């Protein structure tokens, strides 16, 4: 997910997307704890997506 894709969304859409990504991160962490996660780079990607969404929310709020 690129920042340019996120920047065009409204605050409501960004908030919903943020909630979805946080749920995904929770699931990935649970899979990692139970040794079911084979591709650990997914954790990093999910965290970066969350950071991008939070940055876009902050930019829209100003």
pTM of the predicted structure, to 2 decimals: 0.90
Confidence band, pLDDT 50/70/90 cuts, at residue 1: confident
The dihedral region occupied by 21, where left means phi > 0, alpha psi between -120 and 50, and beta the remainder, is alpha
Is residue 50 within 8 A of residue 22, CB to CB? The reply is yes
Q: Is 22 exposed, middle or buried (0-12, 13-18, 19+ CB in 10 A)?
A: middle
pLDDT number for residue 62: 78
Is residue 59 within 8 A of residue 7, CB to CB? The reply is yes
Which residue in this structure is represented by tokens 């065009």?
8
Q: What CATH number does the domain located at 3-61 have?
A: 1.10.287
- Tens digit of pLDDT for each residue in 3-38? 888 989 999 999 999 999 999 999 999 999 999 999
Domain ranges of the chain: 3-61
Largest CA distance in the chain: 42
pLDDT score of 39 more than 90: yes
């Amino acid at each position: 997910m690129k920042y340019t894709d996120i920047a065009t969304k409204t605050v409501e859409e960004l908030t919903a997307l943020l909630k979805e990504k946080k749920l995904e991160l929770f699931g990935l962490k649970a899979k990692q704890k139970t040794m079911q996660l084979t591709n650990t780079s997914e954790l990093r990607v999910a965290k970066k997506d969350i950071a991008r969404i939070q940055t876009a929310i902050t930019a829209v709020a100003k």
